[in-house]
C-alpha cells in the first residue's frame, strides 16, 4: 500500500511478474555469462551479439535487426562490431539487392569460437532447466515470454528480407566461408 491506497490484485500480480522477469534476467547474466565471457575473453554485450549471429540464418544479420535484438543503440552496436571485427570474429558485408543494407556475419574464426561457446552455453542451460520444468511447461514459458517480448520490443523479432552479399566475404586466409 502507498498512502493508504490498496493496489488492485491484478496490478499487484503484474508488478510481481515483471519483477520476477527482471530478477531472472539479472540472475541468468550472473550465472551463465561469466564462464562464456572467460572462454572468449569478451564482455556480455559482445557475447550477446555473437549468440544472435550464430543463431541466425547464414550466421548473419542486418545491423538494424541485430541492434534491435541485442537491445543496443546504433553507436553501441558499431562499437561492438568494431571490437569483434578487430578480433576477426565478425565481418561487415554489403547487400547486392539493397545497397543501404549492411550485415554483420560471423567469420570462419567466429564460427569456430561460437561452436565451443555454444557447447558451454547449452550445457549451462541443460543444468539450469533439467528437472525444473517439464517440456510442456518450458514451451508454455517460452511462448508467453515471446509474446511479451513482441509486445514490448516488436523490432527484436523482425528480420529484414534476405539479401545477397555484395561480394563473397573474405575471412582469415582470404577464402570465402562455406556453410
What local confidence, expressed as pLDDT, does residue 2 receive?
A: 56
Angle subtended by helix axes 44-54 and 9-40, to nearest 10: 90
What local confidence, expressed as pLDDT, does residue 178 receive?
A: 36
Which residues lie below 8 Å from residue 19, measured CB to CB, with a gap of 6+? none
What local confidence, expressed as pLDDT, does residue 101 receive?
A: 78
What domains lie within the chain, and their CATH numbers? 9-156 (1.10.10.10)
Question: Of 76, 54, 55, which is closest to residue 64 (Cα–Cα)?
Answer: 76
What residues does 93 pair with on adjacent strands?
103
What local confidence, expressed as pLDDT, does residue 176 receive?
A: 40
What local confidence, expressed as pLDDT, does residue 174 receive?
A: 39
Could you report the average pLDDT of every consecutive run of 10 residues in the chain (179 residues)?
A: 63 89 91 82 88 92 90 92 96 79 93 92 90 93 93 77 57 40
Residue 91 near residue 31, CB atoms below 8 Å: no
What local confidence, expressed as pLDDT, does residue 154 receive?
A: 83
Q: What is the pTM of this model?
A: 0.75
Amino acid at each position: 500500500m502507498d498512502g493508504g491506497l490498496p493496489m488492485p490484485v491484478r496490478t499487484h500480480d503484474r508488478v510481481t511478474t515483471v519483477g520476477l522477469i527482471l530478477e531472472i534476467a539479472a540472475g541468468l547474466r550472473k550465472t551463465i555469462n561469466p564462464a562464456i565471457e572467460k572462454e572468449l575473453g569478451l564482455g556480455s554485450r559482445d557475447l550477446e551479439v555473437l549468440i544472435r549471429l550464430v543463431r541466425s540464418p547464414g550466421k548473419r544479420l542486418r545491423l538494424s535487426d541485430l541492434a534491435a535484438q541485442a537491445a543496443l543503440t546504433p553507436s553501441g552496436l558499431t562499437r561492438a562490431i568494431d571490437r569483434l571485427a578487430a578480433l576477426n570474429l565478425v565481418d561487415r558485408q554489403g547487400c547486392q539487392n539493397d545497397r543501404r543494407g549492411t550485415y554483420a556475419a560471423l567469420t570462419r574464426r567466429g564460427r569456430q569460437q561460437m561452436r565451443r561457446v555454444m557447447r558451454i552455453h547449452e550445457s549451462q542451460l541443460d543444468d539450469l532447466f533439467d528437472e525444473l520444468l517439464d517440456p510442456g511447461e518450458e514451451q508454455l514459458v517460452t511462448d508467453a515470454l515471446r509474446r511479451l517480448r513482441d509486445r514490448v520490443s516488436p523490432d527484436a523479432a523482425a528480420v529484414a528480407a534476405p539479401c545477397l552479399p555484395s561480394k563473397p566475404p573474405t575471412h582469415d586466409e582470404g577464402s570465402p566461408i562455406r556453410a
